[in-house]
Amino acid sequence: MLVWSRGPKLVVQGIFLLVFGVLVLAPFVVVAAAAFAGSWNGVLPSDPTVAHVKEALSGDELASIAVSLQTAFLGGLLAVGFGTWAALASRAATPGLARLTDALHHLPIAVPSVVVGLSLLVAFSRPPLLLNGTKWIVVIAHLVLMVAFTYGTVTAALQRTDDVYADVAASLGASSARVLWKVRLPMLRPAIVSSAGLSIALSMGEVGATIMVYPASWRTLPVGVFALTDRGQTFTAAAESLVLLAVTVVLVVGLDRLRGRAAG
C-alpha cells in the first residue's frame, strides 16, 4: 500500500504471497492430501484412497458431525439471544453498569477456553445444578465462549443507530415491546445475522473448552479429530478435518447469504 514504484511493489506482493502460501494455504493442502493418502513415506503422499473419507462419513464419525451441528446451532443461537438482550440492556443502563456489562461479556475472550471448560465442569458437577455428563454443559460452554462476539457485534451496531426512530414510535403510543419488535430489532437484523454466522462458525471449530466437559455420548467433530491425532491415526483425522472444513464453509456461505438479504 505504501510502495508506489512498480518493481518494489512486485517484490512486496511476492513476499506476501509466499508468506501467505506457506503459512496459510500449505497446511490446508497438506491436510487435503493426507485425507486421500494410503501412505506417506516420502515428500509426497502415495497410494491414493478414499477409504479415510468414507470412514469419516460413517459410524461414530458421522454422529460427531451431527453433534457438532446441533451444538453449534444451539450454542450459537442462545449466544445471539443473550448477547442481543445484553447489548440492548447495556444501551439503556447507566454508564457504570454499562462498563461492568462490557467487562463481564468480554471476560471469556480474555480467559483461555480450557479454563472456561474447567470452571463449568467444577461448577456444574454438584447439586443444585448438575449438568456434568449431559450435552447441555457442552452447549453452555459454547454459549459462554460465543456470547462475547454477539454482544460486541450488536453493541457496535447499536452505536451506529439513531434512537430518534424508537423515540418517535414511543411518542406515537407504541409499547416498549412493539418498539423493540418493530423498530430496534429490524434495524439490528444485519448485525444479529452476522453475529449468528460468526458464533456458529466459531462453535464448529471449538475444542479447548469442549474437551474438558464433553460426555462420551456427545463428542463433537473437533474433539474426534483431536482424539484420532492423539492415537496416531493421522490420515483419518485429516479426512475428518476436511469434512469439518467443508461443513463449516457451507454454513458460513449460507449464513452470509442470509446476512446479505437482511442488509438488503
The residue type at 164: V
Inter-residue contact 258 to 193 (CB < 8 Å): yes
Residue 35: all three cell numbers together: 485425507
**Can you give the pTM of this predicted structure?**
0.84
Mean pLDDT, residues 90-112 = 86
Cα–Cα distances (Å) from 159 to 92, 96, 102, 155, 183, in that order, read 12, 17, 14, 6, 15
Mean pLDDT, residues 245-249 = 90
Inter-residue contact 245 to 68 (CB < 8 Å): no
Q: Where are the alpha helices (DSSP H) in 161-218?
A: 164-171, 176-179, 185-204, 210-213
- How much is the pLDDT for 223? 92
Fold entry, domain 77-263: MetI-like fold (1.10.3720)
Mean pLDDT, residues 144-150 = 90
Instruction: Work out the pLDDT band at 1, boundaries 50, 70, 90.
Output: low
Instruction: Work out the pLDDT band at 172, boundaries 50, 70, 90.
Output: confident
Domain boundaries, the chain: 77-263
Q: What's the distance, Cα to Cα, between the start and end of the chain in Å?
A: 32
What is the full DSSP assignment across 18-45? HHHIIIIIHHHHHHHHHHT-SB--SSS-
pLDDT tens digits, 56-75 = 888 888 888 899 999 999 99
Question: Does 89 or 8 have the greater pLDDT score?
Answer: 89
Q: Is a pLDDT exceeding 70 seen at residue 263? A: no
Element (H or E) spanning 99, and its range?
helix 95-110
C-alpha 137/C-alpha 122 separation (Å) is 11
Q: Which bin fits 133, alpha (ψ -120 to 50), beta or left (φ > 0)?
A: left
Instruction: Work out the pLDDT band at 257, boundaries 50, 70, 90.
Output: confident
